């Protein structure tokens, strides 16, 4: 499904993954290092142009602020009492996010 929607370029069965990865690595190893470096820089710049750095910075700042709110302190206490996974379940289940969503 991930390949169908363009999330990944290709999907490889588990039993073929190691050989496939090594074949790709051998192909990449034949490229001039200067081209690999430039492509990596281009890729990183593209991600930065999409706002990744500022999003990461804001996420870090908001996380720091949220940890010091009453709700944040309450969550830490609950996680200490029942364990982190259970505290996350209790927090997220009402929204049916991720693993808690009912299977259809």
Q: Are residues 57 and 96 in the same domain?
A: yes
Question: Tens of pLDDT along 82-94?
Answer: 999 999 999 988 8
Q: pTM here? A: 0.48
Q: Give residue-wise pLDDT tens across range 20-42.
A: 999 999 999 999 999 999 999 99
Please give the pLDDT value at position 7. Answer: 87
- Give domain status of residue 18, yes or no: yes
The answer to whether position 35 is within a domain reads yes
CA atoms within 13 A on the CB side of 72: 8
Percentage of residues in the chain having pLDDT higher than 90:
64
Q: Whole-number mean pLDDT of the chain?
A: 90
Q: What is the DSSP string of 35-97?
A: HHHHHHHHHHHHHHHTTHHHHHHHHHHHHHHHHTSHHHHHHHHHHHHH-HHHHHHHHHGGGT-
Query: What's the structural domain count of the chain?
Result: 2
98: left (phi over 0), alpha (psi -120 to 50) or beta: left
- Residue 7 covered by a domain: no
In a domain, 73, yes or no: yes
For residue 66, the enclosing domain spans 53-100
Is 6 inside a domain boundary?
no
- Residue 87: name the closest of 102, 74, 69 by CA: 74
């Amino acid at each position: 499904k991930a390949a169908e929607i363009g999330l990944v370029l290709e999907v490889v069965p588990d039993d073929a993954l190691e050989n496939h990865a090594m074949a790709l690595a051998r192909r990449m190893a034949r490229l001039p290092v200067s081209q690999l470096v430039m492509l990596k820089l281009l890729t990183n710049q593209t991600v930065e142009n999409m706002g990744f750095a500022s999003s990461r910075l804001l996420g870090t700042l908001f996380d720091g602020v949220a940890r010091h709110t009453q709700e944040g302190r309450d969550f830490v206490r609950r996680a200490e009492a029942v364990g982190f996974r259970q505290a996350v379940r209790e927090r997220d289940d009402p929204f049916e996010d991720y693993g808690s969503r009912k299977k259809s």
